[in-house]
Amino acid sequence: MSRRIRLYDAGLGLIIPYPSGVIYSNQTCGHICMQPEIEGVFVPLDPDDGWLALTSHFEGPKYMGSGAMRGLDHEDADIVDRVLCECRIVGIVTDRARLAESHEAWVHAVIERESDWSPFTGFGPYPRAGILTWPNSD
């Protein structure tokens, strides 16, 4: 029996792939409502609903709720990185090499380092992969 946690309303967070025995899943990709999952640990990142800016972008005229099902582009990555910066989340950026595998509410990221603010420690060596996730806009 696998242990599964659905992150539908968990806010903006980071899944660090890790052999935890727990599978994390979220509803993603706008109206497409994909259900990607990965084993790891979940780290909440923003208690102040910074994810709303991300949702607004993916609901806007560029994607109209389609969730960027064909992947993100560099403009989308810039927006995600800007929101992280505005939320004072440092040391985590979008993984520009994996934009084609990313979509709304499931963005491949690079954890560049731990920082003084980090709510997690000991997951090095860095850089390492992560998944940024937030409530889907559908």
Residue 4: per-residue pLDDT:
96
Residue 1: per-residue pLDDT:
62
Residue 48: per-residue pLDDT:
78
Q: For the range 90-93, what are the long-range contacts, defined as Cβ-Cβ under 8 Å and sequence gap of 24 or more?
A: 90/115, 90/117, 91/115, 91/118, 92/14, 92/45, 92/130, 92/132
Residue 115: per-residue pLDDT:
76
pLDDT tens digit at each of 138 positions of the chain = 689 999 999 999 999 999 999 999 999 998 888 999 999 999 999 877 888 999 999 988 998 878 888 899 999 999 999 999 998 888 999 999 999 999 999 999 999 988 777 788 888 899 999 999 999 987
Domain ranges for the chain: 3-133
Residue 49: per-residue pLDDT:
82
CA angle 70, 103, 63 (to 5 degrees): 65
